[in-house]
Chain A
Amino acid sequence: MVSRVTRNVAISRLWWVLCISSLVGALLVLLSLFGFVFVRGVAAIRPEIFFTVTQGIAGGLANAIVGTLLLVTLAIVLVVPVGIGAAVWVTQFAPDRLRIVVRLSIDVLFGVPSIVVGYFLYVALVETAGWGFSLVAGSLALAIIMLPYVYRAADLAFSAVPRDLVEASVALGARPLTTFVRVAFPWALPGTLTGLLIGVGIAVGETAPLIYTAGWSNYMPTLAPTHSPVGYLTYVVWTFINEPFKQSHQLAYAAAFLLMIAIFVTNFVARAGVEYWASRTRSHS
């Protein structure tokens, strides 16, 4: 009897050791990845790469940095009104049945592989509409990829606005629009911004949907909406590591390093936002 208990306890211990080692293993992989990117990246970063453009296999990253910023900024401009607008409609105006349909279509969009979005925009805009590789096509691709993140966060945030606050505002005689602008919107803003930041983090790191929409360019991006390809950081990581030259490898490492820093920052700010938001919600209840 005792031996069976001891055996069960031993088995239990053994499995837990395996579980804990899987966590340790995952953290070691993460460490290997961070270490690799940071060690190689720091060694590859030189001040000039911020001021010179890529020249074939060497040069700097100025065009890619500016291109990534441009593509993501335009994507934010495109996705904010649609994502937040849709969430506002669903939470404030929509009849029940349509509310479910919009949420469902967002869920479906979440599952669409980013390469499918990219290829769709390639055939639709770059080829059929004749825009060529362009800023707008690339930004649209990023906007579609960000949309579910922005929508979901906004939907959650607006759904969480406390009823009693809204009712108090209405009871004081405020018009619906005033109630929305002065009560619901400020309440939902931090949560929505957090979702937007997570979306920005995803967009900065995207490659597949940009290759055949934004294209690639060795020159500084122009502000032309169409017929002008745009360079971006992820492209450098993907292609330059396969070139047989040391300078191009250095650029790939530097680009990966900059991407990781960008992801770190957006992630950190988004998390801090979540904490702030949670503490504010707690203080209300």
Chain B
Amino acid sequence: MLAGVLTSVAAGICLLLVVLMLVFLLWYTWPAIRYNGLSILNDMTWNIGNQYGTGSSVHNGVAAEPGAEFGGLVFLVGTLLSALLAMVFAVPLALGVALTIVYRLPERLRLPVNALIELMAGIPSVVYGLWGTIVLVPWVGNRVAPFVTHHFGFIPFLGGDAGSGNGLFAAAIVLAIMVMPIMVATVRDVLLAQPKSIFEASMALGSTSWQAVTHAVLPSVRTGIVGAILVAFGRALGETMAVLMVAGNAINILPHNIFSPINTIAAVVVSQLESAVSDASGVAQRSLAELALVLFVISLTVNTVARVAIRGQDRSH
């Protein structure tokens, strides 16, 4: 009986942790929510106010330093854009890799390839960031960006300033590489769980192996693939260090093309805290917590939809 009580306490901790996090962040953030109103979502300017000025700026009964404005639009846009662009790169790549593993790889290569993909998923974010800073960013800045802006500049969002390499494009590439292994593993498992007869029946009817995959197998695992994409998307939204190191730390400016510096919510929480701590009114720190809360809610939503999709796939066979 004692064992039952002790282990139920452990389960209770697991259960309460998420609730505690949400409630505490909400309580801590409350003054910032009142001060900022909707501007946390639709205002471009992040400014902790004049720390040496007199008087204060008051919104809804909450006082911050004069001129203080906590707009999160730039970070919200950066988060969504970088994660979406990462999906554009990662989804076809991951599908190709997963299909190759399941339908084309000789048996004896499967184990080592799976092991490498798994290893890729375990590489720390800062190591991707280090590689991104030293290898990827100079390559983007010196080769890719000048080439693309010069030859494809007529396409909206591809033209204009080629930039230094730090920016949306580099962030999306690093994110794509980081989330690809998760997506490959999920899609591979979904494909392997599907009865082999679907593929074989289609082949027996005279289709090519690619037709069998696109017309018979993939339609039957559609929801599972959507789930895998959403899980990866959720990861990309919350990724911090690698993005922080290559995204270019944009403040108060929206990206004008694919190579522009950006910033994400996760990255800005790290990079702006030091300055936020110097805000004597404390609203800056609470506004960062509000941004963290926004990220929390977005991730929660994306993951819930992903779970429903994957659950639906499990039920269909």
- List chain A positions with a Cβ less than 8 A from chain B: 8-9, 11-13, 15-16, 18-23, 25-27, 29-30, 32-33, 36-37, 81-86, 88-90, 92-94, 98, 101-102, 105-117, 119-120, 122-124, 127-128, 144, 147, 151, 177, 180, 198, 201-202, 204-208, 211-212, 234, 237-238, 241-242, 252-253, 256, 259-260, 263-264, 266-267, 271
Minimal beta-carbon separation of A178 from chain B (angstroms): 12
Minimal beta-carbon separation of B106 from chain A (angstroms): 12
CB pair A11–B208 under 8 Å, yes or no, is yes
CB pair B7–A92 under 8 Å, yes or no, is yes
Chain B residue with Cβ nearest A120:
B21
Minimal beta-carbon separation of B70 from chain A (angstroms): 15
The answer for the CA separation of A108 and B6 in the assembled complex, in Å, is 23
**Among the listed B101, B245, B299, which residue makes an inter-chain contact with A113, where contact means beta carbons less than 8 Å apart?**
B299
CB pair B270–A208 under 8 Å, yes or no, is yes
CB pair B14–A109 under 8 Å, yes or no, is yes
Minimal beta-carbon separation of B240 from chain A (angstroms): 4
The answer for the CA separation of A238 and B100 in the assembled complex, in Å, is 35
The answer for the CA separation of A234 and B6 in the assembled complex, in Å, is 35
Total A-B pairs, Cβ < 8 A? 241
**Among the listed B9, B95, B128, B292, which residue makes an inter-chain contact with A116, where contact means beta carbons less than 8 Å apart?**
B292
B111-132 interface code vs A (CB 8 A; 1 in, 0 out): 0010111111011111111110
CB pair B300–A111 under 8 Å, yes or no, is yes
**Among the listed A9, A105, A114, A237, which residue makes an inter-chain contact with B208, where contact means beta carbons less than 8 Å apart?**
A9
Neighbouring A residues of B101 by C-beta, 8 Å: 23
For chain B, give the interface size range: 35 or more
CB pair A102–B210 under 8 Å, yes or no, is no
Neighbouring B residues of A8 by C-beta, 8 Å: 207-208, 211
**Among the listed A92, A109, A241, which residue makes an inter-chain contact with B133, where contact means beta carbons less than 8 Å apart?**
A241
The answer for the CA separation of A206 and B240 in the assembled complex, in Å, is 10
CB pair A12–B211 under 8 Å, yes or no, is yes
Chain A residue with Cβ nearest B114:
A271
Minimal beta-carbon separation of B20 from chain A (angstroms): 9
CB pair A205–B125 under 8 Å, yes or no, is yes
Chain A residue with Cβ nearest B268:
A115
CB pair B266–A113 under 8 Å, yes or no, is yes
Judged by a CB distance under 8 angstroms, whether B4 is at the interface is yes
Minimal beta-carbon separation of A71 from chain B (angstroms): 14
CB pair B130–A252 under 8 Å, yes or no, is yes
The answer for the CA separation of A127 and B277 in the assembled complex, in Å, is 10
Judged by a CB distance under 8 angstroms, whether B280 is at the interface is no
- The residue in A19, A109, A198, A263 that gathers the most chain B C-beta atoms within 10 A of its C-beta is A19
- The residue in B119, B134, B135, B285 that gathers the most chain A C-beta atoms within 10 A of its C-beta is B119
Neighbouring B residues of A113 by C-beta, 8 Å: 237-240, 266, 295-296, 299
**Among the listed A107, A114, A263, A271, which residue makes an inter-chain contact with B240, where contact means beta carbons less than 8 Å apart?**
A114
Instruction: Please list the 10 inter-chain residue pairs (A to B) with the smallest Cβ-Cβ separation, ordered nearest first.
Output: A113-B238, A205-B124, A85-B10, A22-B96, A111-B303, A89-B7, A12-B210, A12-B208, A208-B240, A19-B96
Minimal beta-carbon separation of B119 from chain A (angstroms): 6
Neighbouring B residues of A253 by C-beta, 8 Å: 130
Other than A116-B296, A119-B269, give 19 A-B pairs with Cβ distance below 8 A. Answer: A26-B184, A33-B127, A33-B128, A88-B3, A89-B4, A92-B4, A94-B8, A110-B303, A111-B234, A112-B21, A113-B237, A116-B25, A119-B288, A119-B292, A120-B25, A147-B17, A180-B3, A205-B125, A259-B126
Residue pairs across A and B with Cβ atoms less than 8 A apart, 14 shown, are A22-B93, A26-B120, A30-B116, A36-B131, A83-B14, A92-B7, A105-B14, A105-B15, A108-B18, A116-B296, A241-B245, A263-B123, A263-B124, A266-B122
Minimal beta-carbon separation of A243 from chain B (angstroms): 12
Minimal beta-carbon separation of B137 from chain A (angstroms): 11
Minimal beta-carbon separation of B223 from chain A (angstroms): 17
Chain A residue with Cβ nearest B241:
A207
Neighbouring A residues of B113 by C-beta, 8 Å: 23, 27
Judged by a CB distance under 8 angstroms, whether B289 is at the interface is yes
